[in-house]
Structure 1
Amino acid sequence: MAEPVTICICTYRRPSLFETLASIAQIRLAEVEVAAVLVVDNDVTDALRSEVTDFAGSYRFPLRYCHAPAQNISIARNAALDGVETRWAAFIDDDEVASTDWLEELYAGAEGAEAVIGQSVAQYGPALPGWAARCDFHSNRITGRVDNAYTSNALLDVDFLRRNAIRFREELGRTGGEDTLLFRQLTASGGRIVYRPESVVYEDVPSSRASMTWVFRRMFRAGQTHGLLSREFDARGFSRLGLTAGAKALVSAAMTVATLPGSDASRRWAARAALHCGALSYRVRPTILEEYGAAPSPTPSS
């Protein structure tokens, strides 16, 4: 018999939370039991509590509310881990909707693993520029090493995390990258990650994110996160990061121009240049841009 799973949703002032909850209520269950759905509210006040409580009255699964104020996603995710009473916790974002077989497919990869990662597929409306869908900078898929993972569609063995004292790093709670670091810690502790693209969640891309400015900032921050991971897990690679990232940034910048600025290929090369510039920036000065919270300025990372 399958072990029960707690579904965790960390949220901050997004009405789309209730669309996420509605999609979860429609999932197919054959091999999985949902013990509870846990909503972790990262807002300063608990004004959402009454809405979730009202929604819970007619909800398919037991629905619990947890208030974890601070506008810090790591604090919210750690509160989710603390609130889980099952071995397995499935994470989905509050701006995503689950496919019918989302959880079944995710759990199908759990045997012998401590984490299973699915796809997060971006949806581009007709009002967005055409290059956004063609370049698809917004979807989350694993294409390289499997521990370059994310929590937007993930199943975690909470017992394993607790035994190894693995937590989301709070100082990264406004910058992003805290989930990638957690998965790197998981594998360093002997955990196994399985990528299961058959498990799919969907996310509508808002117009505010369908710009190259947003892409550059996201990729630059991702490069800084790479620098942090190199510093903590690959001292030799970190010592050479200035040279390697600098060379890759120059090549990518040259290809941005060579492939006709404004074309899809040029946009992809420009995004790569931003990634490598972020890594180079971290090697020179170890700070990471804040993607979340009120302050837009860089903050030091430890």
Structure 2
Amino acid sequence: MPSREGRSALAAACASLTFKRQPIWTGLLTNRFCAAFRHLGLHRSGDIMAEPVTICICTYRRPSLFETLASIEQLRLRNVDVVGVLVVDNDLADGLRSEVAERAGSYRFPLRYCHAPAQNISIARNAALDGVETRWAAFIDDDEVASPDWLEELYAAAEGAEAVIGQSVAQYGPALPGWAARCDFHSNRITGRVDNAYTSNALLDVDFLRRKNIRFREELGRTGGEDTLLFRQLAESGGRIVYRPESVVYEEVPPTRASMTWVFRRMYRAGQTHGLLSREYDAKAFSRLGLTAGAKALASAAMTLATLPGTDASRRWAARSALHLGALSYRVRPTILEEYGVAAVGEPRK
């Protein structure tokens, strides 16, 4: 349910609706209809009642933020009412505040700025959750652009769910090596268990998260994996997660990430996150992790050589080997690689 402030705003908005002159009995039915939708937390949009949603973008020194904002202005909306776009700035300085304020003057939706100066993505995402006054919050990264039906497609799968996940499709420019697009290590899609999810394209039931006291863990704010852990917590608390691949956002891959070194680090850290999840939610699997991860790492390394180094198949096996090595390393020493330290301007954290 919306907060008390949100319910008040919804009631005021609904009360302000005007109707053509009509018989008294019709007005009574209309009032009851309007009250019912106020109770559900819905807004009126055109001829239908639309669900209020806040869009959240956490950012850190990325000029591409304004491309993200521009794509949101192009959304096609029918069942969703975007009541606000919240930009959470994770940089130490608030230099972005004036730029967002200038853009807000002519922006399609109400645009707000929040300064969360910690250089910790978990703190930024928690600040976004705290700033939301609607039941639903949609998350998109500051280096992504939304397809026109992105948000409608997410909401189309929201009934009975506490989270809906779309796909993030990587875009590879002509200057990047050919293997990058063929192997496609950079896209985010769910291919296994649905709670192995991410926030780069997500619709979250904020009311559910608050009731269950689920937050992004701050100790993972520089390592990554904080979103994966949040979705596991959500599932363990009885929340339902739905994968909606029809909801698409696009991410342009920069040259600095089109290297196997970047892929190895990302996969190694993902393996460490898997180790953390096993330790917290599957003690039996964690007790065997040294054996299982070690065996898989050896098998993947062997396949890396067998499929001829430099080929696409070999690169995929090498990435899997890094994943299993990360899980093995966490079993031996439960720490996670810090991916997101202080980043250079133009190549922020992800």
Shift of 1:80: 0.1
The answer to whether residue 235 in structure 2 is matched with residue 187 in structure 1 is yes
Alignment TM-score, normalising by the size of structure 1: 0.97
Question: What does 1:162-201 correspond to in 2, within 5 Å?
Answer: 162-201=210-249
2:259 — aligned with what?
A: 211
* Equivalent residue letter for 2:266: R
2:59 — aligned with what?
A: 11
Alignment TM-score, normalising by the size of structure 2: 0.84
1:227 — aligned with what?
A: 275
The answer to whether residue 78 in structure 2 is matched with residue 30 in structure 1 is yes
Instruction: Encode CA deviations 1:174-211: one digit per residue, 9 max, x unaligned.
Output: 00000000000000000000000000000000000000
Shift of 1:128: 0.2
C-alpha RMSD over aligned residues: 0.7
Any gaps of 5 or more consecutive residues in structure 1? 296-302
- Give me the whole-angstrom Cα distance separating, in 2, the residues matched to 1:109 and 1:73: 27
- Give me the whole-angstrom Cα distance separating, in 1, the residues matched to 2:305 and 2:164: 39
1:158 — aligned with what?
A: 206
The answer to whether residue 107 in structure 2 is matched with residue 73 in structure 1 is no
* Equivalent residue letter for 2:293: A
* Equivalent residue letter for 1:284: V
Query: 2:290–2:332: 8 Å Cα contact kept in structure 1?
Result: yes
1:41 — aligned with what?
A: 89
The answer to whether residue 151 in structure 2 is matched with residue 103 in structure 1 is yes
Any gaps of 5 or more consecutive residues in structure 2? 1-48, 344-350
1:243 — aligned with what?
A: 291
Over the matched positions of the two proteins, sequence identity in percent amounts to: 89
1:123 — aligned with what?
A: 171
* Equivalent residue letter for 2:228: T
- Give me the whole-angstrom Cα distance separating, in 2, the residues matched to 1:2 and 1:244: 49
Instruction: Encode CA deviations 1:212-266: one digit per residue, 9 max, x unaligned.
Output: 0000000000000000000000000000000000000000000000001000000
1:281 — aligned with what?
A: 329
Which of the two has higher C-alpha Rg? 2
- Give me the whole-angstrom Cα distance separating, in 2, the residues matched to 1:294 and 1:96: 21
Runs of 4+ residues over 2 Å off in structure 1: none
- Give me the whole-angstrom Cα distance separating, in 1, the residues matched to 2:172 and 2:75: 23
2:7 — aligned with what?
A: none
- Give me the whole-angstrom Cα distance separating, in 2, the residues matched to 1:2 and 1:256: 51
- Give me the whole-angstrom Cα distance separating, in 2, the residues matched to 1:223 and 1:2: 41
* Equivalent residue letter for 1:194: V
Shift of 1:2: 3.0
- Give me the whole-angstrom Cα distance separating, in 2, the residues matched to 1:5 and 1:234: 35
